[in-house]
């Protein structure tokens, strides 16, 4: 039996992915860009064992076995990595025929699953990375990102640390739709992320179905697709220059536009709640009190939980501010993490 355990980090997009042009290959309608958070606190941990004595492939998620017979995305990742391993086994007959062994996968998140905290991103990235280690694949991270993309779009970005772009590509087979690192985690060490768990409830509308409802029904989405390419260029430049003013404004504007196209979807999709909107208002008032010079930027994914980016010098004050206006008796909901982003080990 061969067995490997790996962890993968969460990434939080500052230019959001929302919409697919190909739902089978998971090809997006726009480029996106994210910051990978430190895996010390938020991560998915995956153990995979291959054993010729196992009857079939099986998955346990947070300790509970899942039926994977219809889990096409997981099978995509198995198929692609097994094919690469099989090629190696053909070239070197001394290798164990791991590509033919059934697999047992145990994966756990140390944070709320499916609450809009990018659990599918870290989960599928951990799956693909662990498979690559188990099979001893010499495959580059960029090539692995193409496989992780077929598990869950945003997972391709969690294979890199630091600042990561998912280039949508233009090929029909998805061969140029992959993640690339814009800057490593060491590039901007002053930047930190604060994760505010507003609710750990499972979201009502999954990202996968929500984004296609948006594509089918939102006229505003056309405008979003027009502005994103310019935002991507400006965001890359802001990161290169460590320009927090531009980074913050683009991050907040892109989050707001993403939630606007959700509202413009028919029937509408609501991910933010009153607390989320209260935090948005608070951050704007906090910035306004600093003569409009941004000290903090919020962003929200497909859920009500806020991620606040700020530089280290202001983070303590921001934690106090949020704790003051949004006190909580539930320990889970008042857990704030300050994470400098980190590279995937």
Per-residue buried b or exposed e for 183-202, using 16+ beta carbons within 10 Å of the residue's own CB: bebeebeebbbbbbbbbbee
Other CB atoms within 10 Å distance of the CB of residue 140? 11
Residue 200, interface with ligand 2P0 (CB under 6 A)? no
Q: Is 287 in the site for ligand 2P0 (CB under 6 A)?
A: no
How many distinct helices (H) and strands (E) make up the chain?
A: 8, 15
Euclidean distance between CA atoms 135 and 48, whole angstroms: 10
Closer of 301 and 339 to ligand 2P0 (Cβ): 301
Q: Does 32 bind ligand 2P0 (CB under 6 A)?
A: yes
* Closest-CA residue to 295 (of 308, 307, 280): 308
Sort strands 20-22 and 2-9 into parallel, antiparallel or unpaired: unpaired
Nearer to ligand 2P0, 99 or 257 (CB): 257
Separation of CA 154 from chain center: 5
CB of 90 to ligand 2P0, least distance (A): 32
Q: Which of 8, 26, 42, 179 binds ligand 2P0 (CB under 6 A)?
A: 26
**Closest to ligand 2P0 by CB, 18 or 129:** 18
Question: In the window 109-168, what residues touch ligand 2P0 (CB under 6 A)?
Answer: 120-121, 152-154
Identity of the residue, 4 or 180, whose beta carbon is nearer to ligand 2P0 in the bound complex: 180
Q: How far is the CB of 32 from ligand 2P0 (least distance, A)?
A: 5
Nearer to ligand 2P0, 112 or 153 (CB): 153
- Structural contact between residues 15 and 238, judged by C-beta atoms closer than 8 angstroms: no
Give min distance, CB of 117 to ligand 2P0, in A: 10
Residue (28 or 130) nearer to ligand 2P0, CB: 28
Q: State the helix-helix crossing angle for 72-91 and 119-134, rounded to 10 degrees.
A: 20
Return d(Cα 309, Cα 195) in angstroms, integer: 9
User: In the complex with ligand 2P0, which residue's Cβ is closer, 104 or 178?
Assistant: 178
Look at strands 58-61 and 103-109 and give their pairing: parallel
Cβ-closest residue to ligand 2P0? Answer: 153
Q: Which tokens belong to 251?
A: 């991050």
Residue with tokens 């309608």: 29
Interface residue with ligand 2P0, options 16, 82, 85, 224 (CB under 6 A) = 16
Which tokens is 175 given? Answer: 């061969």
Rounded alpha-carbon distances, angstroms, from residue 222 to 18, 134, 160, 213, 252: 12, 43, 30, 14, 19
Binding residue for ligand 2P0, selected from 301, 314, 318, 321, defined by CB under 6 A: 301
Size of the site for ligand 2P0 (CB under 6 A): 15
Contacting residue, 208, 256, 273, 338, with ligand 2P0 by CB under 6 A: 208
Q: Does 81 bind ligand 2P0 (CB under 6 A)?
A: no
Least separation, in Å, of the C-beta of 246 and ligand 2P0? Answer: 19
The single residue among 8, 13, 74, 132 that binds ligand 2P0, judged by CB under 6 A, is: 13
Binding window for ligand 2P0 (CB under 6 A); candidates: 16-24, 125-133, 172-180, 181-189: 16-24
Task: Tell me the two tokens of residue 275.
Answer: 């607390």
Q: What's the rounded Cα separation, in Å, for the pair 252 and 111?
A: 24
The least distance separating ligand 2P0 from the CB of residue 325, rounded to whole angstroms, comes to: 25
Binding site for ligand 2P0 (CB under 6 A): 13, 16-18, 26, 32, 120-121, 152-154, 207-208, 301-302
């Amino acid at each position: 039996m061969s067995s490997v355990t790996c962890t993968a980090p969460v990434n939080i997009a500052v230019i959001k992915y929302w919409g697919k042009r190909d739902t089978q290959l998971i090809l997006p309608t726009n480029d996106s860009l994210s910051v990978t958070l430190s895996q010390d606190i938020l991560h998915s941990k995956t153990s995979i064992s291959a054993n010729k004595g196992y009857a079939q492939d099986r998955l346990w998620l947070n300790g509970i076995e899942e039926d994977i017979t219809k889990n096409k995305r997981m099978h995509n990742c198995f198929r692609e990595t097994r094919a690469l391993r099989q090629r190696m086994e053909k070239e070197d007959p001394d290798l164990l025929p791991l590509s033919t062994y059934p697999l047992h996968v145990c994966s756990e998140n140390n944070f709320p699953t499916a609450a809009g905290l990018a659990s599918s991103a870290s989960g599928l990235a951990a799956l693909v990375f662990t498979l690559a280690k188990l099979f001893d694949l010499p495959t580059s991270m960029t090539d692995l990102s193409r496989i992780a993309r077929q598990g869950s779009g945003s997972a391709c970005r969690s294979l890199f640390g630091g600042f990561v772009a998912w280039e949508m590509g233009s090929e029909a087979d998805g061969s140029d739709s992959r993640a690339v690192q814009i800057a490593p985690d060491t590039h901007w060490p002053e930047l930190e992320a604060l994760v505010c768990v507003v609710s750990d409830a499972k979201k009502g509308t999954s990202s996968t179905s929500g984004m296609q409802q948006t594509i089918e029904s939102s006229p505003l989405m056309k405008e979003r697709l027009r502005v994103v390419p310019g935002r991507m260029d400006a965001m890359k430049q802001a990161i290169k220059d460590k320009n927090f003013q531009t980074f913050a404004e683009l991050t907040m504007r892109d989050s707001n536009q993403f939630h606007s196209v959700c509202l413009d979807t028919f029937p509408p999709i609501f991910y933010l709640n009153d607390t989320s909107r209260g935090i948005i208002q608070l951050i704007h008032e906090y910035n306004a009190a600093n003569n409009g010079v941004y000290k903090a930027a919020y962003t929200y994914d497909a859920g009500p939980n806020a991620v606040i980016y700020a530089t280290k010098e202001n983070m303590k004050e921001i934690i106090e501010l949020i704790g003051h206006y949004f006190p909580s008796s539930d320990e889970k909901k008042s857990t704030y993490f300050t994470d400098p982003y980190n590279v995937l080990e």
